[in-house]
């Protein structure tokens, strides 16, 4: 970079250009009665860079300490951190691009629950991701009845279905089968969550429609566990069986609290049923549209 020019006063035409006066000489320390400057020792010269590094490290440590105290307040960091772990885990199966898209679809599904919970006046945590188990949110129990639980349960598949459907135009415009595969996976994910067994979203919807359907959902999950055995389905089957039995026993025991919880007006019950069935139809159609047949060479 060029050095800046010193400012000079304007000069009238025909006159000589003034010159910069020579700098005044600085008197030696002996001339003003001060002791002569002592040269730095070799040790001090050698430790000089280390002193600068040490000062920088101390400053960095102070900033790091402030960040550590701030971390518990950053809920977004927890969500993004678990998302990155999930992307890394799913990348082992599908590659990082598909894994990133899949985790984003999971995030939008969970945000549907969070949005509805907050609309119901319930404080909910940010979504947390567990590789190969999906994601979950932490919220206190809903105060009210099964209608609120159904609305919260269906809000996730609603937003998740819209997110997957938004990928269909991208696939049609680009012609890239990647977007079709990602949309198909999103549709399948949300359809699976609509199985009428707790703790899946469909089971929560059934609380406001027909709680006896929990047993039908449990039977369907057991059939899936037999036909397609894997740890995730087995875990859902175990948790679903325990939760279904607990809820059914509490409902059969009766009481004012149970009656108030499952008291849902017929029109609200019909509305929940319409949304539930409509989601299933939309997801099945979406899966059919985005399904790409692959021929496996022998």
What are φ and ψ of residue 135, in 5° steps?
A: -145, 165
The answer to pTM > 0.75 is no
Q: What's the whole-number mean pLDDT along residues 117-133?
A: 81
**Residues 278, 201 within the same domain:** yes
Q: Is residue 243 part of a domain?
A: yes
**Residues 154, 198 within the same domain:** yes
**Residues 128, 273 within the same domain:** no
pLDDT tens column, 214-243: 888 888 888 888 888 777 778 888 887 888
Closest CA to 247 of 211, 193, 201: 211
Closest CA to 135 of 163, 161, 102: 102
**Residues 122, 208 within the same domain:** no
Q: Is residue 134 part of a domain?
A: yes
At residue 180, the pLDDT reads: 95
Closest CA to 137 of 113, 121, 163, 166: 113
Q: What's the whole-number mean pLDDT along residues 246-266?
A: 82
Stronger pLDDT, 133 or 189, i.e. the higher one: 189
Q: What's the whole-number mean pLDDT along residues 155-181?
A: 95
> Do residues 218 and 240 lie in contact, with contact meaning Cβ atoms separated by under 8 Å?
yes
Beta carbons within 10 angstroms of residue 35's beta carbon: 7
Distance linking the first and last C-alpha atoms of the chain: 67
Stronger pLDDT, 297 or 67, i.e. the higher one: 297
Task: Tell me the three state secondary structure of residue 124.
Answer: strand
**Residues 90, 236 within the same domain:** no
Burial (CB < 10 A; 0-12, 13-18, 19+), residue 188, is: middle
At residue 179, the pLDDT reads: 95
Sequence-distant (≥ 6) Cβ neighbours of residue 103 within 8 angstroms: 83, 86, 87, 90, 129
Q: Is residue 29 part of a domain?
A: no
Per the structure, the complete domain to which residue 242 belongs is given by: 145-298
Query: Where a domain ends, among 140, 160, 195?
Result: 140
Count structural domains, the chain. Answer: 2
Query: Where a domain ends, among 140, 171, 194?
Result: 140
Predicted confidence (pLDDT) at residue 139 exceeds the cutoff of 50: yes
Query: Where a domain ends, among 140, 168, 201?
Result: 140
Predicted confidence (pLDDT) at residue 105 exceeds the cutoff of 90: yes
Q: Is residue 31 part of a domain?
A: no
Contacts 24+ apart (CB under 8 A), 18-21: none
Q: Is residue 232 part of a domain?
A: yes
**Residues 178, 119 within the same domain:** no
Q: Look at strands 128-130 and 134-136 and give their pairing.
A: antiparallel
- Which letter does DSSP use for residue 33 in this model? T
> Do residues 120 and 152 lie in contact, with contact meaning Cβ atoms separated by under 8 Å?
yes
pLDDT tens column, 33-87: 545 555 555 545 544 544 444 454 445 444 444 433 443 444 555 777 888 888 9
- Which letter does DSSP use for residue 15 in this model? S
Predicted confidence (pLDDT) at residue 12 exceeds the cutoff of 60: no
**Residues 275, 160 within the same domain:** yes
**Residues 277, 242 within the same domain:** yes
Place of tokens 């469909």: 202
**Residues 196, 280 within the same domain:** yes
**Residues 197, 179 within the same domain:** yes
% of residues, the chain, pLDDT over 90? 31
**Residues 169, 135 within the same domain:** no
Interatomic CA distance for residues 112 and 155, integer angstroms? 5
> What is the CB-side half-sphere exposure of residue 92 using CA atoms within 13 A?
7
Beta carbons within 10 angstroms of residue 157's beta carbon: 28
Q: What's the whole-number mean pLDDT along residues 10-14?
A: 40
**Residues 245, 135 within the same domain:** no
> Do residues 209 and 267 lie in contact, with contact meaning Cβ atoms separated by under 8 Å?
no
> Do residues 183 and 165 lie in contact, with contact meaning Cβ atoms separated by under 8 Å?
yes
Q: Is residue 163 part of a domain?
A: yes
Place of tokens 């899946």: 200
Q: Is residue 165 part of a domain?
A: yes
């Amino acid at each position: 970079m060029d050095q800046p020019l010193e400012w000079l006063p304007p000069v009238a035409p025909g006159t000589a250009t003034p010159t910069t006066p020579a700098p005044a000489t600085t008197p030696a320390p002996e001339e003003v009665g001060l002791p002569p400057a002592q040269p730095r020792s070799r040790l001090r010269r050698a430790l000089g860079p280390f002193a600068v590094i040490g000062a920088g490290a101390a400053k960095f440590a102070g900033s790091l300490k402030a960040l550590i105290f701030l971390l518990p307040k950053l809920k977004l960091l927890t969500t993004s951190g678990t998302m990155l772990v999930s992307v890394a885990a799913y990348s082992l199966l599908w590659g990082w691009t598909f894994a990133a898209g899949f985790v984003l679809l999971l995030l939008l599904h969970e945000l549907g629950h969070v949005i509805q919970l907050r609309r119901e006046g319930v404080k909910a945590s940010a979504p947390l991701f567990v590789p190969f188990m999906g994601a979950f949110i932490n919220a206190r129990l809903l105060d009210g009845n099964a209608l609120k639980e159904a609305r919260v349960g269906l809000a996730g598949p609603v937003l998740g279905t819209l997110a997957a459907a938004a990928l269909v135009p991208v696939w049609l415009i680009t012609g890239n089968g990647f977007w079709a595969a990602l949309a198909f996976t999103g549709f399948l994910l949300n359809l699976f969550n609509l199985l009428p067994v707790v703790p899946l979203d469909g089971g929560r919807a059934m609380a406001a429609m027909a709680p006896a359907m929990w047993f039908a959902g449990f039977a369907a999950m057991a059939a899936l566990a037999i036909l397609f055995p894997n740890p995730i389905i087995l875990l859902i089957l175990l948790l679903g069986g325990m939760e279904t039995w607990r809820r059914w026993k509490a409902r059969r025991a009766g009481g004012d609290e149970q009656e108030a919880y499952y008291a849902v007006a017929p029109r609200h019950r019909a509305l929940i049923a319409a949304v539930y069935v409509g989601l299933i139809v939309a997801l099945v159609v979406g899966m059919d549209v985005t399904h790409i047949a692959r021929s496996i060479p022998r």
